[in-house]
Amino acid sequence: MSNLALVTGASSGIGKAYAERLASRGFDLIIVGRRQDRLDELQESLDEVTVEPLVADLATDDGIKAVAAMAGSRPLTMLINNAGVAHYMRFAGLSADMAAELIRVKELAPTLLTLAAVPGMLERGGGTIINISGMIAFSGPAGPEQMPRRAVYTGTLAHSVAWTQQLHAELASEGITVQVVCPGIVATEFHIRQGMDLSAVPRMSAEDVVTASLRGIELGEVVCAPGVENADLLQAVFDADLSAFGGQSPELAERYRARPDASSI
């Protein structure tokens, strides 16, 4: 049986780079995106393998259901949750519809697609799930000097990191590998859609992101940060997380026991 990968957001950028790389390794593909013309163009360029385009908008219930049905009914070797939206702005400037779209595309859709794919992977005894996040996931503690602000976007990426870590811990013993990829600024259409000109800013190529991801899987990395040379920096973050988690007590911490100043509340 040949390897089969489902890639969301496959019509451009990182998703397209995954599709091209996996095709070069002999994977058949299900490519998901919102634009039929781009999916058709990619399909035509990958004539050495079987490529099935699926037009779907993962910001909608119908789109999520269509892709989940495919993920649950086909013998996937790999699921790549790459789709994203470019609502990269201050919280007060974000409409309710934009916020909901971000959460649906970056949190709800990956969760439901993975829920659809995992039973088959468990039955077959293995598989790989790759979630695309970003280094912004670690920017939560940044002060007001950090611009531009992007609270909801940051939150969705941070969710992806923690979710992936827990999912890998749950599924690794069943032969399923789960990885989250956290690139920095990548040379794709993402910032162009935001009206941001980053042509003068050093950016990683989408192809290098894919190289890091696939090599990271070989290295056993659950969190892959393609542009971070010193992997100990990431481990220090995770060690601090676990220290804080393990440092809790049912007793109220001493710093909260003093009577609060009413004027400060």
pLDDT 10s digits, 140-183: 998 887 766 789 999 999 999 999 999 999 999 999 999 999 99
Q: How far apart are CA 233 and CA 239, in angstroms?
A: 10
Q: pLDDT band for position 200 (50/70/90)?
A: low
CATH number at residue 156: 3.40.50.720
The total of structural domains in the chain comes to: 1
Task: Name the burial class of residue 74, with classes exposed (0-12), middle (13-18) and buried (19+) by CB atoms within 10 angstroms of its CB.
Answer: middle
- Residue 190: partners with Cβ closer than 8 Å, 6 or more residues away: 13, 84, 86, 88
Q: How far apart are CA 170 and CA 13, in angstroms?
A: 30
Q: How far apart are CA 106 and CA 152, in angstroms?
A: 11
pTM for the whole thing? 0.92
Read off the pLDDT of residues 90-128 as tens digits, 9 standing for 90 and up: 889 899 999 999 999 999 999 999 999 999 999 999 999
Strand-pair partners of 127 = 176
Alpha helix segments (H runs only) across 84-230: 96-103, 109-124, 151-171, 190-193, 206-219
Q: What is the CA radius of gyration of the chain?
A: 20
- Residue 73: partners with Cβ closer than 8 Å, 6 or more residues away: none
Q: How far is CA 126 from CA 79, 114, 142, in A?
A: 12, 13, 39
Which structural domain range is residue 186 located in?
4-264
DSSP 48-112: TS-EEEEE--TTSHHHHHHHHHHHHHS--SEEEE-------S-GGG--HHHHHHHHIIIIIHHHH
Res 147: pLDDT: 66
